[in-house]
Amino acid sequence: MSNFAMLFRGFSVVFTFQNIAVCLLGAILGLIVGAMPGIGSLAGVALLLPLTYKFNPTTAIILLGSLYYSNMYGGSFSAILLNIPGDSPAVMTMLDGYPMAKKKKRPGQALFTANLASFVGGTIGMIILTFLGPGLANVGLHFGPQDMTALLLVAMTSIGWLVGKNPTQGVILTMLGILLACIGMDPQTGSPRYNFGNMYLMGGIPFVPFVIGTVGFSQVLRLMSEREDKVDEKQMVTQKLTIRGSMLTGHDVKRLLPPAIRSGVLGTFVGVLPGAGATTGAFLGYAMNKAFKSEEPFGTGAIEGIASCEAANNAAAAGAFAPLLALGIPGSGTGAVLLGGLMMWGLNPGPLLFTNNPDFAWGLIASLFLANILTLMISIGVIPFLIKILTVPVKVIIPIVLVICMVGSYANTYSMYGVVVMIIAGLVSYICEKSGYSTAPMLLSFVLAPLLENNMRKAFITSQGSVGIFFTSPISCAFMVILFAIVLTPVVRGIIASTKKKKEA
Amino acid sequence: MAENTEKTTEKRGVFTVISDHLPQIIPICTSAIAILWIVLGLKQYGFWDEFKGPKTGFFPTIIAIVMLAISIFALVTSGKAKKPEFDKENWMAALGMLAMVLMSYIVGMELSILAFMILWLRVYEKCTWKTTIIATAVVMAIVIGAFRFWLGIQFPMGLFDLIF
CB A26 within 8 A of CB A62: yes
**Helix boundaries (H) for chain B:** 2-20, 22-39, 58-76, 90-107, 109-118, 129-140, 160-163
- Model confidence over A197-206: pLDDT tens digits? 899 999 899 9
- Distance, in angstroms, between B4 CA and closest chain A CA? 27
Set of chain A residues whose Cβ sits within 8 Å of the Cβ of B155? 407, 410
A43/B contact by beta carbon, under 8 A: no
Confidence of residue A263 (pLDDT cuts 50, 70, 90): very high
Give the amino acid at B119: L
Asked if B56 and A191 come within 8 Å (Cβ–Cβ), the reply is: yes
For the cut 90, the answer to whether the pLDDT of residue B61 exceeds it is: yes
- Of A41-50, A257-266, B49-58, B105-114, which range is least confident? A41-50
Set of chain B residues whose Cβ sits within 8 Å of the Cβ of A169? 74
Q: What is the complex's ipTM, to 2 decimals? A: 0.90
The rounded distance, in Å, linking the Cα atoms of A494 and A408 is 43
Set of chain A residues whose Cβ sits within 8 Å of the Cβ of B91? 221, 224
- Model confidence over A213-244: pLDDT tens digits? 998 899 889 888 776 655 566 666 667 788 88
Predicted pLDDT of residue B1 = 44
Chain centroid offset of residue A113 CA: 23
Q: At what angle do helices B129-140 and B109-118 cross, to 10 degrees?
A: 160
- Distance, in angstroms, between B3 CA and closest chain A CA? 30
A456/B contact by beta carbon, under 8 A: yes
Share of chain A above pLDDT 90, in %: 30
Asked if A491 and B73 come within 8 Å (Cβ–Cβ), the reply is: yes
- Distance, in angstroms, between B1 CA and closest chain A CA? 30
Nearest-Cα residue of chain A relative to residue B111: A403
Q: How many helices (H) and strands (E) does chain A have?
A: 23, 2
Asked if A221 and B91 come within 8 Å (Cβ–Cβ), the reply is: yes
> Would you give the end-to-end CA distance of chain A in angstroms?
68
A186/B contact by beta carbon, under 8 A: yes
The rounded distance, in Å, linking the Cα atoms of A365 and A359 is 10
For chain A positions 367-406, those within 8 Å of chain B (CB to CB) are: 395-396, 398-400, 402-406
For the cut 70, the answer to whether the pLDDT of residue A11 exceeds it is: yes
What's the pTM value of the predicted model, to 2 decimals? 0.84
For the cut 70, the answer to whether the pLDDT of residue B3 exceeds it is: no
- Model confidence over B9-33: pLDDT tens digits? 455 567 777 888 888 899 999 999 9
Chain centroid offset of residue A44 CA: 11
- Distance, in angstroms, between A356 CA and closest chain B CA? 29
CB A319 within 8 A of CB A267: yes
Grouping H, G, I as helix, E, B as strand and the rest as coil, residue B10 is helix
Asked if B97 and A402 come within 8 Å (Cβ–Cβ), the reply is: yes
Cα B112 to Cα A421, B95, B99, B107, B154, distances in angstroms: 20, 14, 9, 6, 15
Grouping H, G, I as helix, E, B as strand and the rest as coil, residue A193 is strand
Q: At what angle do helices A145-162 and A474-504 cross, to 10 degrees?
A: 30
Confidence of residue B121 (pLDDT cuts 50, 70, 90): very high
Give the amino acid at A381: G
Predicted pLDDT of residue A56 = 87
Asked if A399 and B116 come within 8 Å (Cβ–Cβ), the reply is: yes
Set of chain A residues whose Cβ sits within 8 Å of the Cβ of B48? 465
Chain centroid offset of residue A199 CA: 34
CB A343 within 8 A of CB A325: no
For the cut 90, the answer to whether the pLDDT of residue B109 exceeds it is: yes
The rounded distance, in Å, linking the Cα atoms of A279 and A457 is 35
- Distance, in angstroms, between A441 CA and closest chain B CA? 14
Asked if A407 and B116 come within 8 Å (Cβ–Cβ), the reply is: no
Chain centroid offset of residue A492 CA: 30
CB A277 within 8 A of CB A312: no
Predicted pLDDT of residue A228 = 64
CA atoms within 13 A on the CB side of A29: 23
A201/B contact by beta carbon, under 8 A: no
- Residue B33 — φ and ψ, nearest 5°? -60, -45
DSSP A401-429: HHHHHHHHHHHHHTSHHHHHHHHHHHHHH
